[in-house]
Amino acid sequence: MWKDRKKLLSAPFPPDWQRLVRAGCSFYERLPEPDRRELEGRSHVFLAEKKFEGCDGLRITDEIRVCIAAQACLLLLHRRTDGYPGLRTILVYPSSYYVRTTRPVGAGVLEEGWQARAGESWQAGAVVLAWDEVRRGGLDPEPGNVVLHEFAHQLDCEDGGAADGIPVLGNGESFRLRQGRHAVWVGVMRSEYEQLRARVQNGETSFLRAYGATNPAEFFAVATESFFGQPLEMQRRHPALYEELKWFYRQDPAQWPPAMPSS
């Protein structure tokens, strides 16, 4: 498998795929040239190893596969990683889909209902995505990016446990350095999460999406969206959070050149 990966990482990226990434992922042109090449190689591996399934009649096309792969692999650049090792399948719906839910309403009673969703990340080897939201997030990441969100959850679960906002930290570093980084990460994330919760509970506006106040796992996923989608604003408003994500992702999107206006 590793020999196959090595070949794919260095193989030329098909021109048709590159055209799809350019058209569907606004961040691609802003990446430094070496990062673009790495993204293409990692996308090549992703597409070879992961299975895509269309739901509700959606036919899986190269556009769907390549645009999802490129956005998912943005989170892997410069990092020592096995490329979402627990993930086997990406299920893609044409648009928001509904799942049956239950919620407690008191006295031990549960109320059943239906909830619209744009994506889910399962520990059991699957990610679910709504294609219209994937396409929107690839072109305009500021309101949020469902691929980055759900694949941040996949990273969060790579330690074998449930998503908790603490992914595997400091791969390749000494035990002592990992312990130190872990303490800093937990401190910053906890502080930022509690600040967001307080703002949401008080009905105040916030830079980070209010959904991040749900729990620490959702906070990490929402923060990941903003780190790549609105890096300059995050760096200004939440400098400590930005620095932690910069260290974890080994990237500094605030230094990317501005996006070129579409013609």
Domains of the chain, CATH where assigned: 2-255 (3.40.390.10)
The rounded distance, in Å, linking the Cα atoms of 48 and 1 is 11
Full-model pTM: 0.91
Tokens at residue 72, please?
């998912």
Beta carbons within 8 Å of 263's beta carbon, 6+ residues apart: none
- The per-residue pLDDT for 161 is 85
86-95 per-position pLDDT tens digit: 999 999 999 9
- The per-residue pLDDT for 182 is 87
SS3 90: strand
Q: Which of 247, 250, 212 is nearest to 77 (CA)?
A: 250
- The per-residue pLDDT for 181 is 82
- Output Rg (C-alpha) for the chain, integer angstroms: 19
Q: Quick one: DSSP state of residue 77? A: T
Q: Which of 44, 90, 32, 85 is nearest to 64 (CA)?
A: 90
34-54 per-position pLDDT tens digit: 999 999 999 999 999 999 999
184-232 per-position pLDDT tens digit: 999 999 999 999 999 999 999 999 999 999 999 999 999 999 999 999 9
The rounded distance, in Å, linking the Cα atoms of 249 and 5 is 21
Beta carbons within 8 Å of 6's beta carbon, 6+ residues apart: none
Give the Å distances, CA to CA, from 186 to 100, 165, 252: 33, 9, 21
SS3 237: helix
61-81 per-position pLDDT tens digit: 999 999 999 999 999 999 988
120-174 per-position pLDDT tens digit: 999 889 999 999 999 999 998 777 899 999 999 999 999 888 899 999 987 766 6
